[in-house]
Each structure stands twice: as structure tokens, then as C-alpha cells.
Structure 1
Amino acid sequence: MNLRTCLLDSFQAAVETANPAHTVPRYLPDPAHVNGRMFVIGAGKASAAMALAVERNWPENKALEGLVVTRYGYGQPTRRIKVVEAGHPVPDYNGMLAAQIILKQVKCLTEHDFLLCLFSGGGSSLLPLPPEGITLADLQELTEQLLRCGASIQDINTIRKHLSCIQGGQLAAACRAPVRALMISDVTGDDPAHIASGPCAPDPTHFSDALAILSCYQLDVPASIRNRLTAGDRQQLNETPKPGASIFKQVENIVIASAHQSLAAAKNFFQKQHFNTLILGDTVTGEAREVAKVFAAFIKEIRRHPDLLKPPAAILSGGETTVTVKGSGCGGRNTEFLLSLLIELGGLDGVYALACDTDGIDGSEDNAGALITPDTLARAREKKIQAGELLANNDAYRFFEQLGDLVLTGPTYTNVNDYRAMVIV
């Protein structure tokens, strides 16, 4: 059995389970119950593929229109729902213009219409609509700082929701029509309030929480941002809609795909290949290189005591680690995790591993992730590639690029967070 191929096939099984073509149709409203306009909006790396799935499963004789925003390169050939491509992870003008149009259109809907929302990972960046006094440049600078400081996605989205006219339940608040939001979850715990920063979900966070996060990470943000958050904390501005608000009585938030489901599909794949398989969970978080050390210790323990999980064994996990960027290298959290894991394992025989982002992009590079084999460290030493130095410089991409061990998939048109698989034989 080719274990590299096995790892790649398991990743494909995980991704395919979250394919919008499979997940969206079963959650569409009954066309017979939609008497007015069927209006579709969305944002995220999967939104265009979700829109295409809606079109292919909605009757041709029933009206259908709308607008979704996705990352550059993630568009799909829709006919009735317009697709706009915009910046991610740093928001840009295209995204802001699309957000303005979406909010305006949503405000025009009546109680006889139906609003279908399609949200997925990346939706927060792709749907930026700052309030008065905050510029797009302010949001861009803030985003750059948040991405480098190692903040969790929950912390990042708490700030975003208080610097938006759409997120944190505000889109639902602007709509008179019934709302159904279909979500492909890229956040640990699958909380609708954090998927695309919850445009249609109640927001339990407050301005004070956003200020505390800025303080925690010691961020030097534009004065306009700090001034707005401070004014909100002093109750000089309206808070985002909270749990229990009456506006959510006509709103449904449905998670249609998640890391849990994708890990289950990967487990099924490995079991068919006769691997003893263990899922460690879909909510693994923390600094990528530190999480890798824990996983390495676990693998070594199994190597010493095979009765814990008899080889051939597969260990799976999901979630979203973070990287505090201190160097000037290239690479995302999955390659950083994998390089740290490789160093900790020290060339341990019989261990293979893969770590990839299910959206096909790890960080801001062109790879989904990478993989390691028992000879990876030896091959690096032969080429005089310094693993430790590259990790210290946050340059894991360069390490795996030089060895030909990057995983390149291109856009997958879905996103259920990170996928990690470790195989012991």
C-alpha cells in the first residue's frame, strides 16, 4: 500500500463529504412555500459553489436571484445568482461594494419574500461593511495585525462584529422576510455566531469584549477603531442583536457541513483499508508548533506501547490552530504544524502524516498543506535544509517546497477547517 496516496485519498474523502453539491440541496426551502421573491446572498470560500448547487436544484419556472461573494479564483459559472470575487483574508473594495449592494437589497425584501443565505469560511473578510467613521483601510490594517498576532478566529470575529453593519446578526435585523442561513462550518464548535461572523445569528459578545481582545494582544490599531469600540463600551452606540431578540423568531441557522462529518468520512476510509482509527476531535486549537509537540508525544507513546492503538493505525483530528508570526517566511498553520511535528519525531520509523486546510489554501500560499514520511528529515539533511531554522522563521512552506512534499489541490470550493491525519505502521 502506498501510504502517501492513502493519506491524500483520506483528505479527498474528508473534503468531498463537505461538497456543497451534496450538502446544500437537502436544506433548500420547499419552492411551493415561497410565494414572493427567492433572494439568495452569501459570502465565503464555498459560497459560489453553494449558489451553483441552489441553481441546479431550484425549479426553472420559479424566480431566483441574488448575489454571493467569494475569494478570487473560487467563482463558479452560475446563471441566476451573481458571483463577485473579492479579497481574502484581507478585505478589499470589491467585497465592500458587494456588501453594500447585499444590505440594500435585503432591506427591500418584504414579509412575502424569502432570504436564503449561504455562509462559509472566509465570509467575514469577504463581506466587509464598516460603520461610519471606519474606513476600509482601517479594517485592512486591523486584519493584518490580527492575522500576525496569533489570535483565535473567535477573538478575531468578536472584533469584526463590532466594526460591521452586517455581521453579528445585523443582516437578519435588516430583513423583513423569513431567513434561512445555510452554513458550512470552518470554526471549532460550529457556532453560527462565528461562521462568517454570524450575519444572521445572535451575538453574545459585547464592545467590552472587543476592547479586551485588543488589550490582550497589545494591538496598535487605528484610532478610529479604538474610538468606536470605546464609544460602544460606554453605551454611546447600539450593541449587536443579542440572544433572545425577537428579530430571530423568523430566522433559521443551519450548519450543513462540519469538520466532525468530514473526520467521520476519513475514518470510514481508513477502516476500509483495515487501519485501527482514532479521532482525537474536531476542536483542536492552540499554537500550531506547540500542538504538534503534543501530537508527537502521543505518537511516540503508541510506538512504545502498540497495545494502545495497534498498527496499522490512523489518528485523525480537526480544528484550527494558530501561528504567532515572528519571522519573515512563508507558510500557514498546517505546514507549521507539520514541520514542528517532523522535528519532534526526529525521523521516527513508520510514521506518516498529512496536515491540510480543507479549502485548499493553507494561510496565504498556493498549497493546501503538506505531508511527511519516515525519510523526510533524512532527505532534508541530504539537501542541507535546516528544519529548525526554517521553523523559527515561520518558513515551513519553503521546507516542504524544496522536498516536493507540498499538497497542491487548488480551490476545493468548501471549507471545514483543518484536516490532520497521522499513520503509524
Structure 2
Amino acid sequence: MDEKLRTDATSILTDAIAAVDPSACVHRAIKKKGTCIFINDRRYDLSLYRNVYAIAFGKAAISMSNAIEDILGDSLKDGIAITKHGFAGSLKKMKVYEAGHPMPDDYSVDAGKMVREFLEDTGEDDLIFFLISGGGSALVTLPRKGISIIDIVKMTDGLMRTGATIDELNTVRKHLCSIKGGGLAKMTYPSESVSLILSDVVGDPLDVIASGPTVPDRSTFAEFSDILKRYDIKVSPAVAGLLEDGLEGVIEETPKHGEPVFERTSHYLIGNNALALQEAEKKASELGYNTMVLSSSIVGEAKEVAKVFAAIAREERSRETPMPLPACILAGGETTVTMKGKGIGGRCQEMALSFGIEVSGLEGVLLLAAGTDGNDGTTDSAGAFADGDTLQNGKDLQMDARNDLYNNNSNAYFRETGGLIFTGPTGTNVMDIYMILVDRF
């Protein structure tokens, strides 16, 4: 593997992740003067509220909470921060809890109950800051009456294995959980709330990020039913009963636009994948690359998207298009993996392995595919590098790259061949970053 390209790619990724550091994003979003804070064009006088609270949930909860504690100071009375197992840190005023991700667990349900009980003691004279980041949907769960955490886990796992999109997954989650899909806003009313949101979803739709707990929900029970049919998902009697009651109007839909529970809610997007790519492009230019950002909205099957990236790399190598060499072509988004085998991996590692197969023998080309949160799939790596030597490196060790790709076993392949990327938990989460570097000979 070309060490210069690998070093440059690592440097570019580091700067991109730093740009979406959750604490920095919160500090950029909020300005304080005396007892007043300003967010965009909105002014909040903290002295007018009886109490000011904060509730954070997601992979970036600790970093965002540190920032809000710093900004609000003595004005903050209390709060809760809920993050993924292993992502916890110390806070001054807010209590810290850990829960399951990507699958919710009993701790996720406990976290949901804590949030509900916390909000039961708030009123119309209180101001609540919600600090929301990716992963929040799994971390805070409060199953609807009759639904168990096992039902939710089985549904989540089944949909993820089929390659369902995050929008589809969250449509189902919203209708199984009383916090998601505007449910948290319903619990909060009549208190005033401010949601600061770090996006981990393509296109930044606020009703999809962490399953949209504080915003009006557009999804319906009918869409829930269509998703189950589309992927032929079998459900428990409890879920089937809930869905039937929802379709027949026996139980109410998730809160929609125009309902009173949203009258005192405000929402601010403070960081996303586009911001990370902007910083990545800046760093790549400083390193001497001709740069281009393709898109921050890449979706699709990881191994198929990799083939497109490989075609771009080959075109750069042979024709120097779409730009002169050395070139850095950047993209971001969140692909999916349809599980066929029983291997270990993640969407970024799977993309890298597919890319390596496609560009076998091509010199001076490198792909970096990495999750900005530091975890790809259920592994401890952020993603992987791949280049023209990736296929041969495996052959030298009597490994079969195509077989491992078919069996979704990309982590084992790169663990042996040395292509894994390790960042550790970054404290942020704005989807994935993809980087194609093509050097001069």
C-alpha cells in the first residue's frame, strides 16, 4: 500500500472529523451575552425561565453535553446524557447513562423511562435543551403498550439484514416507540424546548435523525405496513396487533405538523456530513491535491457503490478526468449492506473490499471509507483502506477476497492484510466519508 497516500488520507480524515466535533458545533451554534443566549436569529433570556434543563442522547451526547454545561453555566439546573456503551465520560451537572447501539437493549428502555420521569416534573415555565445525535434512536427506547424490547430488536435486526434504508428503519421504530416520531415533544409539552441536532442522515431530514423525537412525523402506519411487505418481515403477534389497530385508527398516529405539542419547540441543525467534507476538501488542497466533492448523499449497496468509485479511480488514472493529478475525490453518505453470509464487517469495510477487487493491479490509487463515529458496523474499526494491492495481499496469505466479500467478512480480510482504520470513538457521528486519492506516477 502506498504509504504517502495512506498518510495523506488519514490526515484529511482527521481534519474532517475535527470539523464536526460536537462540542465545537454547539459552541458555534450558541452565543451567550449576560443572561441571554442567541441561536441564529432567536433570542432566549434564561432569566425568564423557572428552570433550565438539558437532555442529550446519541453517540455525541457527552461532547455536546460538555459544551452546553460550559455555555449555560449556573443557569443549567440538571440534565441527563445517554450514550453508547463505552462512550461515556464525566459531566459536571448532567447524569450519564449508557445503553445499547446499534441494537437497543434493556438499558435503552431504562433510559427511556428516565427521560419520561424527568419530563413529568417539568412545566410551562421551564426551558429544555435537547442535544440530539446519531444513534439516539436505539439508545432511548420506550416501547408502546404491549410491545417488548425483544419485538423491537427483532424488527430492527430483520430490517438491517435486508438492507432497508435508515428512513424505512426509522418509520418502523417510530411506530413501536412512544418517544420517537414526535413523541418526546408530546412528553415535553407545555415546556419550551430547543433541539440542537447533529445529522447522521442523508439529506438531513429532522424527522429521521434519531427517529425525529422532537419534530412532527410524516410517516404513517400505512407506510409501516408497506415496509414489512416489501421486505417480507415476519412480526410477532404483539406487533401485528399494534399495526392492525394503527391502520384501523384504534390507536392514534404519531404527532403531525400543526399539533399543539410543537407550538413551543425550536430545532437547529448544527453539524452534518457536508461540513466534514468541506474541511476535508480544504485539507486535501493544502496537501497539494486537486479536489472535488461528489456528494454528501451517497446511498445504495456498499459493494455496488464501490464499483462506481473504482470506475472513477480508473478514469482518473488513465485520462486525468474529471481533474488533473494528483486528485482527491470526496464523498459522504451512508450505504447499506444486505447480509448474506455470517462474517464480521461493516458497510465501509465492505465497500473498501469491493473497491480493492475492482482496482486490482492499479498503481497510485487509494480508497478510504470510514465512519465518522469511529465504528463501522459491529467492529472496533472505523473502516478500511483499499488499493491496487488489496487483492494480491490476500492471495499472499491464502485468502480469497471475493469469498470474504460474498460472506460479508470484510473485517477478517483487512485484519489480516493490514487495511483497517482505527480512530477509536470520535464522539461525533455524521455518517461516512469516502475518499479516492490518485497520485502521479
Q: 1:389 aligns with which of 378, 403, 415?
A: 403
Residue 141 of structure 1 corresponds to which residue in structure 2? 154
Q: 1:416 aligns with which of 425, 430, 434?
A: 430
Tell me the distance in 1 between the aligned counterparts of 2:317 and 2:352: 18
Residue type at the aligned position of 1:52: N
**Alignment pair present for 1:205 and 2:219:** yes
Tell me the distance in 2 between the aligned counterparts of 1:216 and 1:327: 21
Residue 13 of structure 2 corresponds to which residue in structure 1? 11
Residue 115 of structure 1 corresponds to which residue in structure 2? 128
Q: 1:376 aligns with which of 382, 390, 399?
A: 390
Aligned residues: 424
Tell me the distance in 2 between the aligned counterparts of 1:334 and 1:308: 24
C-alpha contact 1:211 1:230 (8 A) present in aligned 2: no
Residue 84 of structure 1 corresponds to which residue in structure 2? 97
**Alignment pair present for 1:284 and 2:298:** yes
Tell me the distance in 2 between the aligned counterparts of 1:374 and 1:299: 11
Give deviations 1:301-357, integer Å, cap 9, x for gaps.
Answer: 222321421110001111100000010100000000111111111221110111000
Give the RMSD, CA atoms, in angstroms.
1.4
- Percentage of matched positions with identical amino acids: 37
| TM-score when normalising by structure 1 | 0.97
Residue type at the aligned position of 1:74: F
Q: 2:177 aligns with which of 164, 167, 185?
A: 164
C-alpha contact 1:211 1:226 (8 A) present in aligned 2: no
C-alpha contact 2:109 2:141 (8 A) present in aligned 1: yes
SS at match of 1:281: strand
Q: 2:64 aligns with which of 40, 46, 50?
A: 50
Tell me the distance in 2 between the aligned counterparts of 1:26 and 1:285: 29
Residue 315 of structure 2 corresponds to which residue in structure 1? 301
- Trace 1:311-390 onto structure 2 (pairs within 5 A): 311-390=325-404
Residue 39 of structure 2 corresponds to which residue in structure 1? none
C-alpha contact 2:22 2:64 (8 A) present in aligned 1: yes
Flag the 1:232–1:29 CA change in 2: closer, same or farther, 3 A. Answer: farther
Give deviations 1:400-419, integer Å, cap 9, x for gaps.
Answer: 00012111111000000011
Give deviations 1:6-64, integer Å, cap 9, x for gaps.
Answer: 111111111111112211123348544122211111211111211111112222x3243
Residue 41 of structure 2 corresponds to which residue in structure 1? none
Residue 196 of structure 1 corresponds to which residue in structure 2? 210
Tell me the distance in 2 between the aligned counterparts of 1:292 and 1:376: 14
C-alpha contact 1:193 1:201 (8 A) present in aligned 2: yes
Residue 220 of structure 1 corresponds to which residue in structure 2? 234
- Trace 1:4-43 onto structure 2 (pairs within 5 A): 4-28=6-30, 31-32=35-36, 33-34=45-46, 35-43=49-57
| TM-score when normalising by structure 2 | 0.94
Q: 2:257 aligns with which of 243, 247, 250?
A: 243
- Trace 1:262-273 onto structure 2 (pairs within 5 A): 262-273=276-287
Q: 2:106 aligns with which of 93, 99, 102?
A: 93
Tell me the distance in 2 between the aligned counterparts of 1:51 and 1:307: 45
Residue type at the aligned position of 1:83: V
Residue type at the aligned position of 1:131: R
Residue type at the aligned position of 1:276: N
More displaced 10-residue stretch of structure 1: 368-377 or 73-82:
368-377
Question: What 5-or-longer segments of structure 1 have no aligned partner?
Answer: none
More displaced 10-residue stretch of structure 1: 231-240 or 49-58:
49-58
C-alpha contact 1:38 1:113 (8 A) present in aligned 2: yes
Tell me the distance in 2 between the aligned counterparts of 1:307 and 1:388: 29
C-alpha contact 2:372 2:431 (8 A) present in aligned 1: yes
Question: What 5-or-longer segments of structure 2 have no aligned partner?
Answer: 37-44
Give deviations 1:149-193, integer Å, cap 9, x for gaps.
Answer: 111111000000011111101111222111111111100001110
